[in-house]
Structure 1
Amino acid sequence: MVANIVFDLGKVVVRWDPESLLAQCGIAPEQQTPLAQKLFSHSAWLEVDRGTLATSQAAVLSSGELKLDLHQVKQIYQAVAPSLEPFPEMLSLIERLKKAGYSLYVLSNMGLDSISHLRNQSNFLSQFDGILFSAECGHIKPEEAIYQLLLREFSLEPQTCLFIDDSKPNIEAAERLGIHGIHHLDYRTTHQQLQEQLPHPF
């Protein structure tokens, strides 16, 4: 029986829209999608998520390898943390789940700058019983180690956990360990799946 609900943050609880972020930094519309893919799938950015590189170091590495303007890449990377605004409907859902008696957790790939911003600027993290950020543990999804650490750190049994993430590979990695999963597409479909899968109403 599901008693624990684990949330990813980006694109699930908080806004994560790289194309809009690049637009705010003055990048032309036709360049936004390809540039976002290059910058945020680059190995340097993944190391930011892992906690082994600072954002400024990642900007130097990625701009050099991709032949991009360093100042522009720094501007884009520095704009990430302030862009992570919570979705009001998801905050309401989290509050209702908490009141219904479910234990709530965070499992998120996120760099130290973004973590610091959320902790300083948002109070919704206080709703969670446990939080595991990639940059604070040295592992990133979908690596098995981060899911194992979540279960061990908070003494959770996989069959009692339901994990919500916008990435299908991240969900599949969790399911291989016996954790239930919901592939988040939007609030409406996730809310419907929660109603179908949870044992108690909320």
Structure 2
Amino acid sequence: MKNIIFDLGAVMFEWNPKKISENFTDNIELQNKIQTELYYHQDWIDFDNAIINEAEATRRASERLEIPIKDAKRLFNETKESLILISKTHDVLKQVKNKNLNAYCLSNISPELFKHVYDQHDLFELFDGIVTSGVENTGKPGKRIFEILLDRYQLNAQECLFIDDSPANTATANELGITTVTFKGLDECYKEIYSHI
């Protein structure tokens, strides 16, 4: 493989809506509501795709969750802070570059969340290209964002390995001829990745 394509959430950075909601409140009903009415709601997809900005997403979340706007803002801030670097995946990225392979980032992430992780970490300088839903206004598992990555950087799909935690996303990549690892954070996943590089 010449090109290794990394997702960010739950691959390069921790992404655990259940844990975020549990840390935010002891109220189990609200925890469940945060997951269904924020992270797994259409508004979160629109937020990722920059159709709505953080201020609007926060306002809508405040209304749906029936919590004060200041609490909704705190929830969004805690969401950003939860994006902790996964060191074992960072090591994979460094190995990729040490072997003179190309590394790319392909992520569904809002401009606001991307800015947060970009400002916190210098790993982004290791990528040869970055494509995000917040810039392109379209996201995985749709084919368009994959096509943008392949076209922009003139990549041959057969020479690419894509690492993502979502089976729907890896299924789309497979349809385009890209080799995939559906990432679950297990040792077996890392072994599979290393077998390709």
User: Does the alignment reach a TM-score above 0.5?
Assistant: yes
Q: What is aligned with 1:24?
A: 23
Instruction: Report what 1:170 is aligned to.
Output: 169
Instruction: Give the alignment of 1:40-189 within 5 angstroms.
Output: 40-64=39-63, 66=64, 68-71=66-69, 72-189=71-188
* Equivalent residue letter for 2:53: A
Asked if the contact 1:59/1:70 (under 8 Å) is kept, the reply is no
* Alignment partners' CA distance in 1, 2:34 and 2:118: 29
The one-letter code sitting in structure 2 at the alignment partner of 1:116 is K
Deviation digits for residues 116-160 of structure 1 (CA, Å, limit 9, x no counterpart): 111211111111111111101111111111000010111101111
Cα deviation code 1:152-191 (max 9, x no counterpart): 1111011111100000000001111111111001141221
What's the TM-score, normalizing by structure 2? 0.92
Larger displacement relative to structure 2 (4-13 or 113-122): 113-122
Q: C-alpha displacement at 1:62, in angstroms?
A: 3.6
Deviation, 1:55, is 1.3
What per-residue deviation string (whole Å, max 9, x for no partner) do you get for residues 70-104 of structure 1? 42333212322222110111111211121012110
How far, CA to CA, are the matches of 1:125 and 1:187 in structure 2? 23
Moved more, 69-78 or 142-151: 69-78
Amino acid at match of 1:106: C
> What SS is found at the alignment partner of 2:148?
helix
Q: Which runs of 5+ in 2 are unaligned?
A: none
CA shift in 2, pair 1:75/1:161, >3 Å: same
CA distance in 2, matches of 1:33, 1:26: 10
Asked whether the equivalents of residues 163 and 180 of structure 1 are also in contact (C-alpha less than 8 Å), the reply is yes
Stretches (4+) displaced over 4 A? none
Calculate the aligned-residue CA RMSD, in Å. Answer: 1.7
CA–CA separation in structure 2 for the residues paired with 1:180 and 1:134: 21
Q: Which runs of 5+ in 1 are unaligned?
A: none
Q: Is the 8 A contact 1:89 1:187 kept in 2?
A: no
